[in-house]
């Protein structure tokens, strides 16, 4: 969003903040959709069994199908979740016209080694069911090219958000207990709201300190022309400095490592080395000048 902000001639802060809020809401919608996708696999499995039994010349397998997947207990909890239906309805979230895509994901699942290994195993039990359901979700469902292509068409945010939304879905499955009749859904924000406050403050401070922090970067990168530094690198460094200056309880090493990792994901192949060098130098200087002050256990020198 900051990249879009600096690319836009208007540089409308309110508009950018609203877009950022919207993107986070869309991530929560994706989380719900992933759980719905998993749950839908049971209905397709039931349809398959019923279709086999209705054949004019059913095979022994059609007449005596392996029902291990259909009766997978965490899957059954998701498929019958009233909480998921209720929240999905309130947020207007569902797969709607994309049933054929889900059906193709199920067909692909039938051929996947995790599914076949699960169905062939004589092991039974709730933990076994849950472990293999997570494996099938992680290794097949969200990695299917058809699924990822559809995500990109449905929302420009979702390919970027898939890892986080998928980790939330897996965490939700892991919380399902054998005696549960429904699934407990994760909220968008934790109750203590630390994440939300961090998000709000980091966005605000990055913009408030933008001119000053850009000057620090320009001075530290004296051997580089500003125009030669990738815009994304400049944004990441300004964010990192804003975080280092505004959040006294976050260790500088943590901030440095986070932005090096972000640069590997979002910027050029050589950016992480460049950013590491500039930020390491800047953090030391800003700390010596009293512009970075750390408080908290183990942070005060």
CA atoms within 13 Å, Cβ hemisphere of 95 = 21
DSSP conformational letter for 186: P
Residue-wise pLDDT tens digits, 76-114: 999 999 999 999 999 999 999 999 999 999 999 999 999
pLDDT of 194 reads 86
Question: What pLDDT is recorded for position 300?
Answer: 53
Distance CA 200, CA 205 (A): 9
The pair of structure tokens assigned to 18 is 């609203």
Question: Locate tokens 């109750």: which residue?
Answer: 191
As a whole number, the mean pLDDT across the chain is: 92
- Structural domain boundaries in the chain: 2-175, 194-288
Q: What per-residue confidence (pLDDT) applies to 299?
A: 58
41, 75 Cβ separation under 8 angstroms:
yes
Q: Which helix (H) or strand (E) holds 143?
A: none
**% residues pLDDT > 90 (the chain):** 75
Does residue 185 surpass a pLDDT of 90? yes
Categorize the per-residue pLDDT at 133 as very low, low, confident or very high, splitting at 50, 70 and 90.
very high
The fraction of the chain above a pLDDT of 70, given in percent, is 96
pLDDT digits (tens, 9 = 90+) for 214-236: 999 989 888 776 667 889 999 99
Is residue 132's pLDDT more than 60?
Answer: yes
Give the 3-state secondary structure of 244-289.
HHHCCCCCHHHHHHHHHHHHHHHCCCCHHHHHHHHHHHHHHHHHHC
* Residue 271 CA: distances (Å) to CA of 27, 131, 214: 27, 38, 17
Residue 295, pLDDT score: 83
CATH of 194-288, one of 3.40.50.1820, 1.10.940.10, 3.40.630.30, 3.20.20.140: 1.10.940.10
pLDDT the model gives residue 92: 94
Cα–Cα distance, 272 to 116 (Å, whole number)? 42
pTM for this model (two decimals): 0.87
What does the chain come to in residues? 301
CA distance 108 to 178: 28
Residue 239 pLDDT = 96
**Contacts with 221 (C-beta within 8 Å, 6 or more apart), sequence order:** 229, 278
């Amino acid at each position: 969003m900051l990249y879009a902000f600096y690319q836009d001639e208007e540089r409308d802060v309110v508009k950018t903040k609203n877009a950022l809020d919207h993107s986070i809401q869309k991530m929560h919608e994706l989380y719900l959709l992933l759980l719905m996708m998993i749950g839908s696999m049971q209905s397709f499995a039931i349809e398959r069994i019923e279709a086999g039994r209705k054949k004019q010349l059913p095979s022994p397998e059609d007449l005596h199908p392996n029902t291990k997947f259909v009766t997978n207990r965490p899957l059954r909890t998701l498929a019958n979740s009233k909480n998921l239906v209720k929240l999905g309805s309130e947020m207007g979230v569902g797969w709607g016209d994309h049933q054929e895509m889900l059906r193709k994901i199920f067909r692909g699942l039938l051929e996947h080694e995790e599914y076949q290994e699960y169905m062939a195993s004589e092991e039974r039990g709730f933990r076994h069911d849950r472990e293999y359901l997570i494996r099938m979700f992680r290794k097949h469902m969200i990695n299917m090219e058809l699924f990822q292509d559809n995500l990109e068409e449905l929302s420009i945010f979702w390919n970027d958000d898939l890892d986080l939304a998928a980790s939330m879905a897996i965490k939700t499955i892991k919380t399902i207990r054998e005696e549960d009749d429904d699934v407990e859904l994760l909220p968008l924000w934790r109750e203590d709201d630390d994440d939300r406050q961090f998000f709000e403050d980091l966005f605000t401070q990055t913009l408030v300190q933008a001119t000053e922090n850009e000057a620090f970067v320009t001075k530290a990168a004296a051997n580089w022309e500003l125009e030669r530094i990738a815009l994304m690198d400049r944004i990441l460094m300004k964010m990192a400095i804003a975080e280092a200056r505004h959040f006294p309880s976050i260790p500088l090493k943590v901030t440095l490592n986070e932005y090096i990792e972000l640069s590997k994901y979002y910027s050029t192949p050589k950016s992480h080395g460049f950013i590491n060098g500039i930020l390491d130098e800047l953090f030391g200087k800003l700390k010596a000048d009293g512009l970075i002050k750390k408080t908290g256990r183990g942070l005060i020198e």
